[in-house]
Amino acid sequence: MSSESLIFCDNVGKKFCRDLRKSLWYGLVDSLREFRRRDADEQDALRPEEFWSNKGISLEVERGECLGLVGRNGAGKTTLLKMITGLIKPDQGRIRITGTVGAMIALGAGFNPVLTGRENIYVNASILGLSTRQIEDRIDEIVEFGELSEAIDAPVRTYSSGMNVRLGFAVAAVMVKPDVLILDEVLAVGDLAFRNKCLTRMSEIMKTSAVVFVSHTSPIVNRYSSRVAWLDGGKLVKVGPPSQLIEEYSASFDQQAGETTSQPGWTLESLQLNGQCPDQESTVEWNAPLNIVASIRLPRQNYRVRVKFQFSDSEQRPIATAFSETMETGNSGNAQFEMTLDRSLLAPGKWFLSLAVFPEDLLSYHILSNAGWTFQVSSGRQDFGADRIHFQAQWTQR
Amino acid sequence: MSLTEKLESSIQKKAEHPIGHLPVVEYSSASALRNPAGLLMEIGVELWRCRGLAWVLFHRDLMAQYRQSYLGYLWIFAPVLTTVITWTFLTSQNIVQSFDTDIPYPAYVFVGTVIWTAFSAALTQPLASFTAGSAVFMKLKVAPEAFILAGFGKLAFDLTIRLLMLVLVCILFEVAPAATAPLVLVGIGLATLLGGAIGVLLIPIGSLYGDVSRIVGMVVAFGMYLTPVVYPVPAAGWSRTLFEWNPMTTVVLASRDWLSHGIGPHVPAMIAIAAASAMLFFVGIVLLRVFLPHLVERMGM
């Protein structure tokens, strides 16, 4: 164990039960077992309907370090955070936490919609551990940070959802800086401007804490983490540097992708990207031409169709689309649709390509292939950051 | 000092803070009971630390409760008045035989109901407060005792209002208070302690199974008729035995004596009930701490 480790998990395991009735019963049994089980006596056996929500997890986080937790839903991230926060006990192993713990897991805890924003600040901040005097000292900052000076004396139930989260974040953001900071998915709230403000504040707090945070937004994990831990099925798959690990993690999504559905008589024969069948190795240069040809077999009849290619980023979020005008298939039973971009502005990284062929009225589809192909975009430049589209612009100084 | 400056200075302070001075906690499957002294210390520290939060929560609930209501504080004594009016009506119309009471019957019912309500509200409040607060302490490390304390604060507030009503009722029905009348406060306090102790003991099982709060509701509704609230203790029969075994009988009888007669014969029994309640309450608070991680885990799913 390193001398500066504020978070230290040693072979941590936690059982979980999805059957509600059984779970409640186990809760009762485990409670009563507290009388018998004086020492750490590890319960290895799973009871009916139980499974390991976390198993064999060992990790350390030092001050100034930020560990990003990635993994699918149900991978055990929240369970791990709850154990680190001390809300639930591990069934196996041990966790040692040094220093004060702050958590930004539930924003706006204890808000009462009938009360005003100002009154709710007192409640929420008290829950986060601030004394009344500390709150009085900071209330103006909180209101200012949340950009809520006009609405602060109105009941919270009159707030928009954006105002609600801004208020919640503002309170959490000015809380006493903890030694250990736990963040779950709440980094980015509100509109774009407020999100940036949140991220800036988060990175200020992170400097002095040992941070563990969960996010499904890879660019954010990439930007803020010093290391990334990948959880899958309750086990730690890997811990490593963000850039490398996030790429591997994204690659694990490939197995899910590639579902094609089509109407009877319609088949996708082949798809070529810059003259080749796209695969993991296919590479396209940023700001270079991009050409895609889809060959389709269809009933011998002249159809009027529209074709759409969609580009999704490594997390399969749709980023860019090319949608054709109406085209005719001819009645040969075969058709080829070609799309050409003079210069592709897709940023370097991994991309998914989807194809859809619609009838002219767009009310149904002939062929739908969701994220069926992947390719890489590369570039000699390293300065692109996390945004997924990069323009090639003309720059002049005046 | 601007926000950035404050942040900078706090960052500076952190950097100067060597790791050796920081508190260390360890979480494992080991029972909290293996170190009883540490556990008691933790409970003490948490209770002391959460007093500010409890006050804020109490204040929040009070404001929220009456901001949405026109009749406001009337609701605090409306149930008591309902019982008094119901039973006065029933007896005055001879639907139910009238009872021989030493103070005017409505005042008699009022005193009994105030004491009984102190007990029954204290019995149901801890679980209600715990459940209401669970959304918070299932996600954040917050002492659930703060929510329970805030609940007791609400009980104290309601009792104060009812006591003021009691004074009015005594004046209205010309009940001459004895010198021991202020001791009624002790009676009400004891009813609250006894109810609260049972209520806190019920939290662990009650937070897991919804049946508990329903059973408690039924027992409280029936229990009022096994306590001399609206009529005296029966002169004979097995119902008398039931009354005698019910500790609330002693509390109600003693309080009525103290109000209008004098010290009476109930003092030793009251001391015994107080001691037992205090002990139960303590056990309840300790058990809640020990069981808490399991409750959070199972309530959270």
Interface mutation vs chain A, best among B10, B297, B299, most A CBs within 10 Å: B297
Which 3-state string (H, E, C) describes A134-161?
A: HHHHHHHHHHHHCCCCCCCCCEHHHCCH
CA nearest B16 in A: which residue? A208
pLDDT tens figures, A218-256: 777 888 888 999 999 899 999 999 888 887 887 776 555
Does residue A320 sit in helix, strand or coil?
A: strand
In the predicted model, is pLDDT for residue B3 greater than 70? Answer: no
Q: Which of residues 30-59 of B touch A (CB under 8 A)?
A: 30-34, 52-53, 56-57
The residues of chain A scoring below 70 in pLDDT are 1-3, 37-43, 176, 185-189, 253-258
Cβ pairs A/B, distance under 8 A = 176
Cβ–Cβ under 8 Å, residues B253 and B240: no
- By DSSP bridging, strand A290-297 and strand A334-341 are antiparallel
Quick check: B296 and A87 CB within 8 A? yes
- At residue A122, the pLDDT reads 92
A286 min Cα distance to partner chain B (Å)? 39
pLDDT tens figures, B113-123: 999 999 999 99
Please list, in sequence order, all residues whose beta carbon lies within 8 angstroms of the beta carbon of residue A300, skipping any fewer than 6 positions away.
Answer: A331, A332, A333
In the predicted model, is pLDDT for residue B170 greater than 60? Answer: yes
The answer to whether B268 contacts chain A (CB < 8 Å) is no
> Which residues face A290 on adjacent strands?
A341
Find the CB nearest A126 among B27, B56, B300: B56
Per-residue confidence band for B13, with pLDDT thresholds at 50, 70 and 90: very low
The answer to whether A10 contacts chain B (CB < 8 Å) is no
- At residue B204, the pLDDT reads 95
Cα–Cα nearest to A179, from A2, A6, A1: A6
- Dist. CA A313–CA A397, nearest whole Å: 33
- Dist. CA B24–CA A97, nearest whole Å: 6
- Dist. CA B88–CA B71, nearest whole Å: 24
- Dist. CA A283–CA A379, nearest whole Å: 10
With beta carbons under 8 A apart, name residues in chain B contacting A106: 135-136, 139-140
With beta carbons under 8 A apart, name residues in chain B contacting A131: 52
Q: CA torsion, points A294, A296, A300, A306, in degrees to nearest 10? A: -50
Please list, in sequence order, all residues whose beta carbon lies within 8 angstroms of the beta carbon of residue A359, skipping any fewer than 6 positions away.
Answer: A303, A304, A305, A306, A365, A366
User: What is the CA angle B87-B93-B94, rounded to 5?
Assistant: 90
Quick check: A95 and B26 CB within 8 A? yes
With beta carbons under 8 A apart, name residues in chain A contacting B68: 114
A196 min Cα distance to partner chain B (Å)? 16
Tokens representing B66? 């009456």
- Dist. CA B162–CA B196, nearest whole Å: 18
- CATH code: domain A259-378 is 2.70.50.60
Quick check: A106 and B140 CB within 8 A? yes
- At residue A43, the pLDDT reads 67
Tokens representing B114? 């105030």
State the angle between helix axes of A20-36 and B267-299 in degrees (0 to 180), rounded to the nearest 10: 120
Residue A39 or B40, more confident: B40
- Dist. CA A307–CA A356, nearest whole Å: 6
In the predicted model, is pLDDT for residue B7 greater than 50? Answer: no
Please list, in sequence order, all residues whose beta carbon lies within 8 angstroms of the beta carbon of residue A206, skipping any fewer than 6 positions away.
Answer: A66, A181, A224
- At residue B11, the pLDDT reads 45
- By DSSP bridging, strand A304-312 and strand A349-359 are antiparallel
Quick check: B25 and A40 CB within 8 A? no
> Which residues face B93 on adjacent strands?
none
The answer to whether A6 contacts chain B (CB < 8 Å) is yes
- Dist. CA B290–CA A391, nearest whole Å: 59
Tokens representing A294? 């889809």
- CATH code: domain A1-100+176-252 is 3.40.50.300
ipTM: 0.83
Range ranked top by mean pLDDT from A310-319, B2-11, B116-125, B160-169:
B116-125
Quick check: A43 and B29 CB within 8 A? yes
Distances (CA, A) of A305 to A234, A318, A324, A331, B288: 46, 22, 9, 13, 67
Interface mutation vs chain A, best among B140, B209, B283, B292, most A CBs within 10 Å: B140
Q: Which of residues 240-259 of B touch A (CB under 8 A)?
A: none
- At residue A80, the pLDDT reads 93
- Dist. CA B87–CA B90, nearest whole Å: 5
The answer to whether A221 contacts chain B (CB < 8 Å) is no
- By DSSP bridging, strand A101-104 and strand A50-62 are unpaired
The answer to whether A40 contacts chain B (CB < 8 Å) is yes
Distances (CA, A) of A62 to A71, A77, A99, B154, B194: 22, 19, 11, 44, 49
A365 min Cα distance to partner chain B (Å)? 40
> Which residues face A350 on adjacent strands?
A376
Beta strands (DSSP E) in chain B are 24-28
The answer to whether B95 contacts chain A (CB < 8 Å) is no
- At residue A258, the pLDDT reads 63
The answer to whether B293 contacts chain A (CB < 8 Å) is yes
Tokens representing A147? 């950009």
Cα–Cα nearest to A122, from B26, B120, B58, B229: B58
What are the residue boundaries of the structural domains of chain A, listed by start? Answer: 1-100+176-252, 110-168, 259-378
| Amino acid at the residue A232 | D
Cβ–Cβ under 8 Å, residues A155 and A113: yes
The answer to whether A88 contacts chain B (CB < 8 Å) is yes
- Dist. CA B140–CA A171, nearest whole Å: 14
Interface mutation vs chain A, best among B26, B29, B134, B142, most A CBs within 10 Å: B29
> Which residues face A355 on adjacent strands?
A309, A369
Q: Which of residues 96-155 of A touch B (CB under 8 A)?
A: 96-101, 103, 105-106, 109-110, 112, 114-115, 119, 122-123, 126-128, 131-132, 141, 145
* R_g (Cα) of chain A, nearest Å: 26
CA nearest B299 in A: which residue? A24
CA nearest B5 in A: which residue? A204
- By DSSP bridging, strand A283-285 and strand A367-378 are parallel
The answer to whether B135 contacts chain A (CB < 8 Å) is yes
| Distance, C-alpha B234 to centroid of its chain | 28
What predicted TM-score, i.e. pTM, was given to this entire model? Answer: 0.78
Distances (CA, A) of A192 to A82, A107, A161, A224, B47: 29, 18, 15, 18, 41
Tokens representing B264? 């009476």
Please list, in sequence order, all residues whose beta carbon lies within 8 angstroms of the beta carbon of residue A268, skipping any fewer than 6 positions away.
Answer: A260, A262, A294, A295, A296, A355, A367, A369
- At residue A335, the pLDDT reads 92
Per-residue confidence band for B85, with pLDDT thresholds at 50, 70 and 90: confident
Burial class (CB in 10 A: 0-12, 13-18, 19+), A149: exposed
pLDDT tens figures, A304-340: 999 999 998 887 788 999 999 999 998 898 999 999 9
